[in-house]
Structure 1
């Protein structure tokens, strides 16, 4: 990307490229279109776009980076490990993490880059106490540069949060404007965005230690895949995604959680059905469709077997 006007790559004392934006806030969009990628940068009151080959070199960012998949899926190589991210999922990386992304055809993804200086300014008033804010505070400390971890973001329900997308779109508009007062709006929206990520009705957050053992890493990937698909995933699909024998993965999961892949998937699927019944007004038919059941009748049978109540009975008893 030597012609990329978005950023500068610095080798300094290492061969690893570092992406520098020279701005407290920058938003980047990537969309895979055939063999090319459409790059769009929103920064300092300007929007710049161009089409180019996909940049696939391992690199670090000078700023903290929040990646969020808008459509499709991508493979993210974080340090020496491989992760699959689908629409509605994302991750928050500190400045020390090596990474690169490969987008599937039709995938679109947004990257929000926030400078350490900006985050220090935002945290002067001690905003937020959840895992996102704790992660950022820890990594802003000068003695934390060695930490090899990141935050993984997974949607709680099989529907993207309209409120989260409204905040993201509003932030883009404010970063793209040159109007007076924009910096105040931008900072407020960043805090609201981080706070939305910590809403347990919208997202599930997990801090991933990159120095995990192979067994712990694989168990984490299995549970992530099951939770990301809301329990609607087979052993063969997990085997294909992780390139490990399904029976081997099943043994690892059972050793750590006392549950088989089928049992864990069943538990997650039931929990998501309960959450949709409790927190939304979706019809039973739509809930069955969102969770991948072949029919509403099969969902009724499945849910009653798991909980002892029909979906309607459960909703009447526990609706928030």
Structure 2
């Protein structure tokens, strides 16, 4: 069995294992698909990330594998810098379990910085705002579940009920509360602090991630049932207080959170091109206060946060329409075409014309 995202593993290794179904994506596709992966297609997804801060050519290696598709991408130092500047606090429409395979990482969770060393885990519900910090070397696995899949997994028939039930009430409560409430503002997550040795974690936690990956990459008769069994084994081990200390954390809804969500929706509706006066008129708050709220939740100014949506809209128009670039500038309220080119290159590392050409070649 290979080691997930081993630092010496080559791209060809992944292609060879997946019989050619893994796709190497160009950087412009990475920018669209990696920084904020809010939506999950399918029941579950495995997402691996390896950060090499000292490597200029392969600063970040990403591998994604699910029953629907497989993907392999690499970012050099310059591309990763662009990706990092575009990335903001985000949330998902699925549950996400993060496992630190090697190294360590900080996560910004609801504007609080949390440290996760090797062997530790974190399980988040769908509403928690978070962002990984790519500082030092690390290898991380993200196991992402749809709510439907987790409920089916827990409610599937058991022949040996007492032996097969997950003993932890904490996990059942976590799932039931989130399923029943499912409120936009309900936020909770669980930290897992390892009580075992690194060798035990490698043989029991890491090993199950690898076996699940193997079944996804090389499916055969019974793979669905083997994956489901390993998912349950993994959950059971993490919630066993002999192996991990579980710390549940909960955030209550706040007026600031709701205002920020409204600001985000308003910016999306207007492609990020909204004046300070328009925001003040719409929300009946001072521009300074709206700036403060946006910076608190994203670390960005109102202008930079809006520009992120503007550049996303520019990409959509370049790919899906034949509009001249001058008309796109006008539609996105840029009076100066040179300034539009400058901002686009800051976000995507290339000119709008080159971006359009590359995407047309891909499509």
Q: Same fold (TM over 0.5)?
A: yes
Q: Which has the higher contact order (CA 8 A, sep 6+)?
A: 2
Mapped to 1, the partners of 2:180 and 2:60 lie a distance apart of 36
Q: Among 71, 93, 103, which residue is 1:72 paired with? A: 103
CA contact (8 A) 1:45 1:178 kept: no
Q: Among 153, 156, 167, which residue is 2:195 paired with? A: 156
Shift of 1:159: 2.6
Deviations 1:142-168 (A, max 9, x none): 455432220001101343522222222
Specify whether residues 50 and 67 from structure 1 end up closer, same or farther in structure 2 by C-alpha distance, changes over 3 A only: same
Mapped to 2, the partners of 1:20 and 1:43 lie a distance apart of 13
Q: Among 213, 216, 224, which residue is 1:183 paired with? A: 224
Q: Among 218, 237, 246, which residue is 1:196 paired with? A: 237
Specify whether residues 82 and 71 from structure 1 end up closer, same or farther in structure 2 by C-alpha distance, changes over 3 A only: same
CA contact (8 A) 1:148 1:209 kept: yes
Mapped to 1, the partners of 2:223 and 2:124 lie a distance apart of 26
Q: Among 49, 56, 69, which residue is 2:72 paired with? A: 49
Mapped to 1, the partners of 2:113 and 2:73 lie a distance apart of 28
Which residue of structure 2 lines up, in the alignment, with residue 128 of structure 1? 166
CA contact (8 A) 1:45 1:177 kept: no
Structure 2 unpaired stretches of 5+: 1-26, 158-164, 254-363
CA contact (8 A) 2:61 2:73 kept: yes
Specify whether residues 211 and 133 from structure 1 end up closer, same or farther in structure 2 by C-alpha distance, changes over 3 A only: same
Which residue of structure 2 lines up, in the alignment, with residue 146 of structure 1? 185
Q: Does 1:106 align with 2:137?
A: yes
130-139 or 112-121: bigger deviation: 130-139
CA contact (8 A) 2:41 2:68 kept: no
Over alpha carbons, which structure has the higher Rg? Answer: 2
Shift of 1:45: 6.7
Specify whether residues 107 and 72 from structure 1 end up closer, same or farther in structure 2 by C-alpha distance, changes over 3 A only: same
CA contact (8 A) 1:151 1:208 kept: yes
Which residue of structure 1 lines up, in the alignment, with residue 44 of structure 2? 25
Aligned alpha-carbon RMSD (Å): 2.6
Matches within 5 A, 1:235-246: none
Which residue of structure 1 lines up, in the alignment, with residue 125 of structure 2? 94
Which residue of structure 1 lines up, in the alignment, with residue 209 of structure 2? 168
Mapped to 1, the partners of 2:70 and 2:107 lie a distance apart of 25
Shift of 1:169: 1.4
CA contact (8 A) 2:194 2:243 kept: yes
Equivalent residue of 1:62, what SS? coil
Equivalent residue of 2:30, what SS? coil
Equivalent residue of 2:88, what SS? coil
Equivalent residue of 1:157, what SS? coil
Specify whether residues 2 and 61 from structure 1 end up closer, same or farther in structure 2 by C-alpha distance, changes over 3 A only: farther
- TM-score normalized by the length of structure 1: 0.58
Greater helix fraction, Structure 1 or Structure 2: 2
Mapped to 1, the partners of 2:30 and 2:240 lie a distance apart of 36
Mapped to 2, the partners of 1:107 and 1:150 lie a distance apart of 22
CA contact (8 A) 2:185 2:252 kept: no
Specify whether residues 144 and 180 from structure 1 end up closer, same or farther in structure 2 by C-alpha distance, changes over 3 A only: same
Mapped to 2, the partners of 1:50 and 1:18 lie a distance apart of 14
Which residue of structure 2 lines up, in the alignment, with residue 317 of structure 1? none
- TM-score normalized by the length of structure 2: 0.52
Specify whether residues 143 and 4 from structure 1 end up closer, same or farther in structure 2 by C-alpha distance, changes over 3 A only: same
Shift of 1:47: 3.9
Shift of 1:198: 1.4
CA contact (8 A) 2:50 2:140 kept: yes
Specify whether residues 143 and 46 from structure 1 end up closer, same or farther in structure 2 by C-alpha distance, changes over 3 A only: closer
Mapped to 2, the partners of 1:33 and 1:192 lie a distance apart of 31
Which residue of structure 1 lines up, in the alignment, with residue 30 of structure 2? 4
Equivalent residue of 1:168, what SS? helix
Q: Number of aligned residue pairs: give it.
A: 205
